[in-house]
């Protein structure tokens, strides 16, 4: 029926309906100080977008076409926008307009698609741009399909073009490396691979400015889902209120963040060991183009709606080591049709895809067999306590019998008529004192015997301290805080436990990343020496002082790249053998003094995936 209707209109001589969409092509040439955009479109756009109508004669008036072409140049300059790294509009200059070659009698009403218009817009800037964002907003009333804007972009110094098709309100950001521009077609695959590697390093693997990125981390402590999404994409899904349609101001971002939390919090459920866990939002940050390291908390500033991005980190706490995890993405739509996700589970990398066209969008993970953490045991020692802590043991029962014997003899000698009964009782009391020697026993420091000076060799001290020091940081391999405390208690005296726990956590916090706590990768005791007795803080007779320098490597990973920092430490320690009655005891660190902490430089490296 549609074909019959079209044929009937044709043979009847009626004008053909305009093309259902506007098709615009642009060639953009970017130089260090200027940009030129050459735009071509069909003359039919003058009817759809400028309101040109055919006369009763069936032809378009040539003068009206020319006037509408001038108006269309201004329309394109307003609707085809180019923004800088901050999202600010670059001002175009209309440098050339090439009118359609109109026949003397005008253009027939059904022939507009046979004529092209051409416009050239020039843009100036002061410094070579690292980013430009191109966006189109051409909307024709009554159009069956949205306007299409095809961009072919070239950077000066490279013959490699970028191509992109944009629908209304879509934006595309292009990045330029002026020190290392894209190579040319004749360059080898090896050269191209090297170039891509350099670009990936510079962008930290986040190279597409219109894509949604998803990273899922599975650790002993949590499942963490990190999403990086274009602000323009999110604005189609969440009502982000703003005074200026082009920007999200600082004072508007808090309210926007709450709506982002509500959006993601209502979807994408995560299950750990059969229990659905609600997310805790570690952060919702708004980023501009000039920030490539999304692990760093950005300064608050207004963000372009066309080129800004939103980083969302959702944490799902695990009460113990996860054995089964499922992550679902149920927020797919015509706006987000599919998402490629990278899964990092205990340093093992996997990939998965969530797609609107898949029947199931659930990633499932099962923990491999892993041996339990080796236990941390106390470091015991055997010592002759009497040598270093002389004591005097007294039986108060024996002393009582002795006193009774003395009193009996005194009474018999001075007050009784006969001494023998008292003497017999006194002898009996002395004999009885032997049998009660184990009763009412008490031990006291020896009143006159001096203890020997405790001595330990350098090698013994290094061995004892090294094992205690290593155990301190091994304790942080455990998940539950009570387990960490229990493990620490094997090497640290109780009074020092809490302080040391807080100190280690504080030293692992990376402030540039919002205070996130790094994972301990390696602890190395660089230097240590036994302190002379005169310099040691003696807590007891059996103790020694030890000065140590060590390094700690900690890592934090976000969005597929790893931040590593090596911190340096120095401190003086008191190590004491806390004794038991069976001549054994446990070596413990009982004091820390003169601590020095020097944070290292954060180094970044990309994970391969």
Average pLDDT of span 506-531? 74
Taking residues 312-316, what's their average pLDDT? 93
Q: Which DSSP category does 77 fall into? A: H
pLDDT confidence bin for 29, thresholds 50/70/90: very high
Mean pLDDT of 41-62: 85
Instruction: Give the tens place of pLDDT for each residue, 125-169.
Output: 999 999 999 999 887 665 545 678 999 999 998 878 889 998 888
Domains and CATH numbers, the chain: 2-182 (no CATH), 213-366 (no CATH), 391-445 (no CATH), 458-606 (3.10.450)
pLDDT at position 326 over 60 = yes
Give which of 308, 250, 291, 236 is closest to 87, Cα–Cα. 308
% of the chain with per-residue pLDDT over 70 = 86
Q: How far apart are the first and last CA of the chain?
A: 53
List helix spans (H) across 215-291: 231-235, 250-265
> CA–CA separation, 478 vs 461, rounded Å?
27
> What pTM did the predictor assign?
0.76
- What would the pLDDT profile of 521-560 be if each residue is shown by its tens digit? 888 999 999 988 776 666 666 788 999 999 988 888 888 8
Cα within 13 Å of Cα(264), Cβ side:
27
Average pLDDT over residues 285-308: 84
Residue entry with tokens 């998803």: 214
Cα–Cα distance between 493 and 587 in angstroms, integer?
9
pLDDT for the residue numbered 427: 84
Q: What is the pLDDT of residue 539?
A: 64
Q: What is the mean pLDDT of residues 586-605?
A: 84
Instruction: Report the alpha-carbon distance of residue 180 to residue 128 in Å, rounded.
Output: 13
The pair of structure tokens assigned to 38 is 């050459």
């Amino acid at each position: 029926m549609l074909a019959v209707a079209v044929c009937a209109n044709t043979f009847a001589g009626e004008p053909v309906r305009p093309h259902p969409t506007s098709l615009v092509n642009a060639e953009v040439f970017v130089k260090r100080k200027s940009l030129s955009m050459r735009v071509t479109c069909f003359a039919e756009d003058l009817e759809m977008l400028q309101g040109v109508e055919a006369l009763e004669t069936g032809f378009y008036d040539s003068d009206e076409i020319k006037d509408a072409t001038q108006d269309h140049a201004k329309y394109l300059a307003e609707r085809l926008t180019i923004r800088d790294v901050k999202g600010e509009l670059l001002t175009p200059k209309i440098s050339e307009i090439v009118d359609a070659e109109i026949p003397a009698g005008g253009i027939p009403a059904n022939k507009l698609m046979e004529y092209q218009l051409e416009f050239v817009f020039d843009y100036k800037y002061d410094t070579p741009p690292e980013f430009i964002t191109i966006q189109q907003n051409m909307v024709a009333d009554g159009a069956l399909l949205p306007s299409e804007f095809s961009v072919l972009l070239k950077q000066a110094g490279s013959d490699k073009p970028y191509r992109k098709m944009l629908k209304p309100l879509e934006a595309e950001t292009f990045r330029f490396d002026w020190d290392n521009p894209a190579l040319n077609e004749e360059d080898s695959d090896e050269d191209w691979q090297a170039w891509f590697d350099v670009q990936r390093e510079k962008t930290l693997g986040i190279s597409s400015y219109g894509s949604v990125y998803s990273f899922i981390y599975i650790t002993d402590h949590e499942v963490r889902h990190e999403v990086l999404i274009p602000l323009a994409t999110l604005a189609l899904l969440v009502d982000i209120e703003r005074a200026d349609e082009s920007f999200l101001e600082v004072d508007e971002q808090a309210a926007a963040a709450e709506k982002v939390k509500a959006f993601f919090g209502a979807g994408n459920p995560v299950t750990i060991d059969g229990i659905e866990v609600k997310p805790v939002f570690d952060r919702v940050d708004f980023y501009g183009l000039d920030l490539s390291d999304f692990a760093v908390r950005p300064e608050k500033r207004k963000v372009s709606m066309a080129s800004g991005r939103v980083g969302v980190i959702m944490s799902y706490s695990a009460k113990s080591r996860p054995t089964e995890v499922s992550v679902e993405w149920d927020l797919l739509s015509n706006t987000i049709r599919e998402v490629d996700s990278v899964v990092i589970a205990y340093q093992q990398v996997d990939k998965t895809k969530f797609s609107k066209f898949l029947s199931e969008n659930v990633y499932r993970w099962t923990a491999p067999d892993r041996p339990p953490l080796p236990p941390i045991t106390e470091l015991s020692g055997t010592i002759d306590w009497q040598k270093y802590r002389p004591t005097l043991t007294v039986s108060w029962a024996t002393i009582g019998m002795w006193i009774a014997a003395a009193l009996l003899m005194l009474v018999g000698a001075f007050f009784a008529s006969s001494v023998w009964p008292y003497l017999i009782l006194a002898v009996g009391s002395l004999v009885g004192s032997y049998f009660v020697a184990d009763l009412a026993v008490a031990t006291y420091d020896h009143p006159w015997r001096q203890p020997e000076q405790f001595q330990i060799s350098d090698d013994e001290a290094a061995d004892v301290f090294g094992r205690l020091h290593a155990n301190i940081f091994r304790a942080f391999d455990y998940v539950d805080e009570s387990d960490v405390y229990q493990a620490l208690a094997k090497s640290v005296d109780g009074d020092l436990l809490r302080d040391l726990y807080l100190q280690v956590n504080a030293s692992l916090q990376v402030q540039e990343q919002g205070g996130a706590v790094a994972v301990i990768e390696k602890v190395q005791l660089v230097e240590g020496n036994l302190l002379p007795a005169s310099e040691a803080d003696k807590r007891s007779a059996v103790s020694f002082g030890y000065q140590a320098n060590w390094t700690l490597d900690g890592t934090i990973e976000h969005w597929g790249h790893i931040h590593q920092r090596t911190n340096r430490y120095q401190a003086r320690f008191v190590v004491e053998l806390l004794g038991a009655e069976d001549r054994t005891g446990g070596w413990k660190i009982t004091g820390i003094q003169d601590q020095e902490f020097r944070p290292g430089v954060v180094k970044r490296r990309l994970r391969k995936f």
